[in-house]
Amino acid sequence: MPNQTTTSQNKAFQVLTELDKPVKDYFFCLKEIHALHNAVIHFIGNESNPQFKKEIQTVHSVLHGSLQIISPWIVQLDEQTNAIMGIEETEDPTTLIYAIYSDFQKLDVDVQHLANLAKIANEEILQINPAHFNTAGVEISVIQLLVSAIQRMTIQLQSDIFAECDVLGQLYPTIFKVEV
């Protein structure tokens, strides 16, 4: 029986090792998306034209709302990275594995919300006529491209998370109970 426990624990550490890369990838991707949000918000904030500020208010609000979703996840994924690095070989990693997998499922839902918000922001900003505004140090087309990049990155992140959960469920069906 001790040999079976060792084999199970080795498999659990193998799973934990495989989870390390996506945790870090999602962390850095969210940091990049966060930085793009901040850049757009900064450019909007530097504009002095009140008509522009009025027309771009929805985009500004959506991006601020998105940051409320992104920021806690950056902290959570950073904590998970530290937990993975800090686990000792004598510890049972199963609880951490379940927590990370559960968080991936929750993150998948939240990133879908982010993708929807990014779509709204992108559609709103495309309604603004670039010829009407000279933003402070940057053209509206640059802001449009940044918002478009946010949308693409968010969609890709959501796809990656969904695929990762699916693969984990297929590779380790006894660890990750997949509901059909």
Q: What are the tens digits of pLDDT across the range 29-49?
A: 999 999 999 999 998 888 777
Is 180 domain-assigned? no
Tell me what pLDDT residue 134 has: 60
Q: How many domains, the chain?
A: 1
DSSP conformation class of 85 = H
| Residue 141 C-alpha from the chain's centroid | 25
**Reported pTM:** 0.88
The angle formed by the CA atoms of residues 82, 164 and 176, to the nearest 5 degrees, is: 85
The boundaries of the domain holding residue 14 are 2-171
> What is the CA 37 to chain-centroid distance, rounded?
12
Q: In this model, does residue 153 exceed pLDDT 70?
A: yes
The HSE-up count of residue 6 (CA atoms within 13 Å, CB side) is 3
Determine the average pLDDT of the residues in 118-132.
86
Asked if residue 153 is part of any domain, the answer here is: yes
Instruction: Give the integer Cα–Cα distance in Å for 53 and 46.
Output: 10
Longest dimension (CA), the chain: 75
Q: Is residue 78 in a domain?
A: yes
Q: Could you give the percent of the chain with pLDDT greater than 70?
A: 90
With H, G, I as helix, E, B as strand and everything else as coil, classify residue 133. Answer: coil
Instruction: Map tokens 């693409």 to a residue.
Output: 152
**Domain-located, residue 179:** no
Judge whether residue 18 has pLDDT over 50.
yes
Q: Does 176 map to a domain?
A: no
User: Please, which residues have CB within 8 angstroms of residue 111's CB and are 6 or more apart in sequence?
Assistant: 154, 157, 158, 161
Distance CA 101, CA 95 (A): 10
For residue 137, what pLDDT is reported?
Answer: 57
Residue 86 belongs to some domain of the structure: yes
